[in-house]
Chain A
Amino acid sequence: MQSSGTTLNRLMAGPQRWLVTMAVALVLGASWIWQSAVPASAVSGGLIPSPRQGFLAPDLVLPDLEGGTIDLSELRGQVVIVNFWASWCPPCRAEMPALERTQEAHAGDGLVVLAVNATNQDSLPAVISFIEEMGLTLPIALDQSGEVGRRYQVRALPTTFFIDRQGVIQEVIVGGPVSESTLLSTVQSLLGEGS
């Protein structure tokens, strides 16, 4: 007994105690990692709709300017940029041409840029005038009640969501204007992932 006690005392005295701690930490740490191992599906938010990175993009069904309906779920399989904007918001106005050019550059690769106007904070004549002034061709959805903006927890305009082909949000940029190169590099990453 005395001999084993002496050995323990010797091990725990001086620098050697760190070697003992290393061995204990290695065994316990590896056991803890093994205990807390989970399949990837258990930690992914991909199946829960929520407006943040790593989660499924919430439902979005809105009227467009032509009297039709835009349904985000029908765009599954394509990379989608959802941009919340208003015509009175200077950074929204500044980034809209870059969004239009990004759409033009990658429409054939499976990209859709969806511009969701916060119509509850805007006026339809101002929206139409802005679209004509800019010569925009990308789809414009009208969030007349502001319900979709609330569902996406939009706290500042513009806010831009990048959604992958599986419908999962991969990037959220609050504020703007977002540069064309940021749009293109992010889109290229997402298009490359799914192809």
Chain B
Amino acid sequence: MLPILQLGPLALQVPGLVLLAGLWFGLSLVERAGLRRQLPADALNGLVLAMLVTGLLGARLAYVVRFASVYWQDPLGIIALNFSTLALPEGVLLGLAAGLVYGQRRGLPLWPTLDALAPGLACLGVALGLSHLASGDAFGAPTDLPWALDLWGARRHPSQLYEIVAASGILFASWRMQAGQRPAGTTFLATVALMALARLLLEAIRGDSLIVLGTLRQAQLVSLLALQLALAGLFLRERNAARRLISTDQVGSDPESPT
């Protein structure tokens, strides 16, 4: 674990740096995937930027609203950013909304754009695993396995390494899927399904799960729901593509249809 890299008077937060590097590399993958679909690189970059900036500002403002009385007394405190003072769920929702608005304004087609974003999402998954390895977050449950890590007062599953391996596999699969001829949206939905499946499986050996309904791990319930939605999406995308193909064939085989 290397949460802080001390360079003279500078204390660099390694997990944050790893995430930034992941974002940069992910954006370059998104640009390349966008080129295959004739999507303009500047629009894709702008889309990601709009989502990130709106998400960050939204998360901060939502937190400020939650503690309005404190920030009313100290308005300058609003710009003193700290990761612990962000309302993440609200930030994610606002970031997604900003992405939808920006995409519509720039005329980006929804499903091909999501397909182009898929390898970037998978790349962020790898970076997140690496940042967890650096910080010691997302740690595993205690175990006697020979490859266990000494961490936070116990021998534990190296859950961060499992996470990196799974995310790397998903990134590889997502990138390979860019090459094939598939209905628009399936690369994105398959990537989401694989990420949800990985979380569903790996959460079982985590030592920091949030428990709900007595004994169930919240992340597994959310992952199973995400997996089902992604699979339902794959069904609908393929069914619609098949219907369009059939109707095109019928029009093509009809001698009276206009050409």
| Segment touching B, from A33-41, A112-120, A128-136, A137-145 | A33-41
Give the shortest distance, in Å, between A61 (CB) and chain B (any CB): 19
Q: Does A50 contact B (CB under 8 A)?
A: yes
A16 partner residues in chain B, CB cutoff 8 A:
235
Within 8 A of B (CB), among A28-74: 29-30, 32-33, 35-40, 42-43, 45, 48-50, 52, 54-55
Which residue from B4, B76, B136, B201 sits with its C-beta under 8 Å from A174? B4
Instruction: For B76, give the chain A residue with the smallest CB separation.
Output: A179
Measured CB to CB, the nearest residue on chain B to A153 is B3
Q: Which of A18, A29, A45, A181 contacts B224 (CB 8 A)?
A: A29
Q: Is the CB of B80 within 8 A of A15?
A: no
Given A48-B152, A52-B152, residue A174 in contact with residue B80 (CB < 8 A):
no
Would you give the shortest CB distance from A133 to chain B, in whole angstroms?
22
Q: Mark A4-42, 1 if CB is under 8 A from B, else 0.
A: 000000000011101101100110011011011111101
In chain B, positions 196-252 with a C-beta closer than 8 Å to chain A are 197, 200-201, 203-204, 206-209, 211, 214-217, 220-221, 223-224, 227-228, 231-232, 234-236, 238-239, 242
Q: Is the CB of A181 within 8 A of B78?
A: yes
Cα–Cα distance between A173 and B13 once the two chains are bound (Å):
11
Contact A22 B67, CB 8 Å, known A39-B215, A43-B209: no
Contact with B along A98-117 (1 / 0, CB 8 A): 00000000000000000000
Judged by a CB distance under 8 angstroms, whether B253 is at the interface is no
Interface check A121, CB cutoff 8 A = no
Residues in B whose Cβ lies below 8 Å from that of A156: 4, 6, 11
Q: Which residue of B lies closest to A33 (CB)?
A: B220
Of chain B, the residue at the smallest CB distance from A26 is B228
Report whether A174 and B13 are in contact in the complex, using a CB–CB cutoff of 8 Å: yes
Query: CB distance B200 to A32 under 8 Å?
Result: yes
| Chain A residue nearest in CB terms to B5 | A155
**Count class of interface residues, chain A:** 35 or more
Residues of B within 8 A of A123 (CB): none
Q: Give A80-109 interface residues, CB cut-off 8 Å to B.
A: none
Query: A163: shortest Cβ distance to chain B, in Å?
Result: 14
Across the interface, B208 reaches (CB within 8 A) one of A32, A45, A181, namely A45
Main secondary structure on B side of the interface with A = helix
- Chain B residues within 8 Å of A32, by CB: 200-201, 204, 220
Q: Which of A22, A37, A155, A185 meets B235, CB within 8 Å?
A: A22
Tell me which of B6, B76, B152, B239 contacts A45 (CB under 8 A): B152
Contact residues in B for A184 (Cβ distance below 8 Å): 67, 70, 74
> How many B residues touch the partner, as a band?
35 or more
A122 within 8 A of B: no
Quick one: which of A48, A54, A55, A181 contacts B70, CB cutoff 8 A?
A181
6 nearest A-B residue pairs (beta carbon): A181-B77, A36-B204, A179-B80, A156-B11, A18-B235, A15-B238
Residues of A within 8 A of B (CB): 14-16, 18-19, 21-22, 25-26, 29-30, 32-33, 35-40, 42-43, 45, 48-50, 52, 54-55, 155-156, 171, 173-175, 178-182, 184-186, 188
> What 12 new A-B contacts, CB under 8 Å, besides A15-B242, A185-B67, A185-B70?
A14-B242, A25-B231, A37-B216, A43-B206, A43-B207, A43-B211, A52-B136, A55-B152, A155-B11, A156-B6, A179-B77, A186-B85
- The 22 sampled A-B contact pairs (Cβ below 8 Å) are A18-B232, A18-B235, A29-B227, A32-B200, A36-B204, A39-B214, A40-B211, A43-B206, A43-B208, A45-B207, A48-B153, A49-B153, A155-B3, A155-B4, A173-B82, A174-B13, A179-B80, A179-B82, A181-B78, A182-B85, A184-B70, A188-B70
